[in-house]
Structures are given as structure tokens and as C-alpha cells.
Amino acid sequence: MLSKLEMKVQKILKNMLTKAETCFKLFVVAKTGNRKRGERVVNTDRLSEFIEKSGKKKGYLAEKVGISRQALRNKMLNITEFTSTEVNILCSELGITKLTDKEQIFFANDVPDKRNT
């Protein structure tokens, strides 16, 4: 028969394990995303071309958009999504004025998955 202390420790460990499993599941979702083939996503390569051409640093662009450099990276890698305001600010900063360029960058289809590179 387990003592009260042993039962309490067992309960705490079970609770910790449940929390760890939840954290792991959230990590897996964040890492893999909910992206399906053919879903509209950011064309990372095309956006990077415009960033390079502009001569602006990603840290500067992130600051202008109002997010961290890591958040910008996550958005560029399709881990999280850009808001319409963020897209407008980036386009303004990068001189992206053509609708076709905006569509190719921010509403791309079947772009390579860059998240694990």
C-alpha cells in the first residue's frame, strides 16, 4: 500500500507527464504546421530576393512591421501567417508595388518547404 507522500508524488509526476505531452504536441504542430499541399503560402525565395535587392536587414524590416526578427523568420518560413497590415508594410518597405509580385510572394502555391533547412 502506498503512503500519502508516495501517492502525492505519483499524482505530481502524472500531472507533469501530461503537461510534457501537451508541450510536445504543441511543438510538433508548430514545427510541422497545418500546411496542406496546394495551400497558399509565402514564397520564401521570392521574398528573400526582394529583401536582398532592397539592401535592408531583416531585423530592420521586422522592427518596421512591429514584430521580432524570429517572428519575421517564422512568417517567411510559413510557420505562422502574415497579417494584411504586415504584408502592406513589407511591400512598402521593399518597394513591391506590382500586384503580380505581391501575389507571387504572399499567395504562392506549392512552394518548397523551407522550415527544416
Q: What is the pLDDT along the chain (117 residues), one digit of tens a residue?
A: 778 888 888 888 888 877 766 555 545 444 445 555 445 589 999 999 999 999 999 999 999 999 999 999 999 998 888 998 999 999 999 999 999 899 899 887 655 555 555
pLDDT at position 23: 52
pLDDT at position 28: 46
Q: Which of 109, 64, 108, 110 is nearest to 85 (CA)?
A: 64
The amino acid occupying position 71 is A
pLDDT at position 90: 96
Q: Give the integer Cα–Cα distance in Å for 116 and 110.
A: 16
Q: Give the integer Cα–Cα distance in Å for 87 and 104.
A: 13
pLDDT at position 4: 87
pLDDT at position 22: 59
Could you tell me the pTM of the whole model? 0.61
pLDDT at position 116: 52
pLDDT at position 108: 78
Helices 44-54 and 84-94, axial angle in degrees (round to 10) = 40
* Coil, helix or strand at residue 117: coil
- Pair 87, 106: CB distance under 8 Å: yes
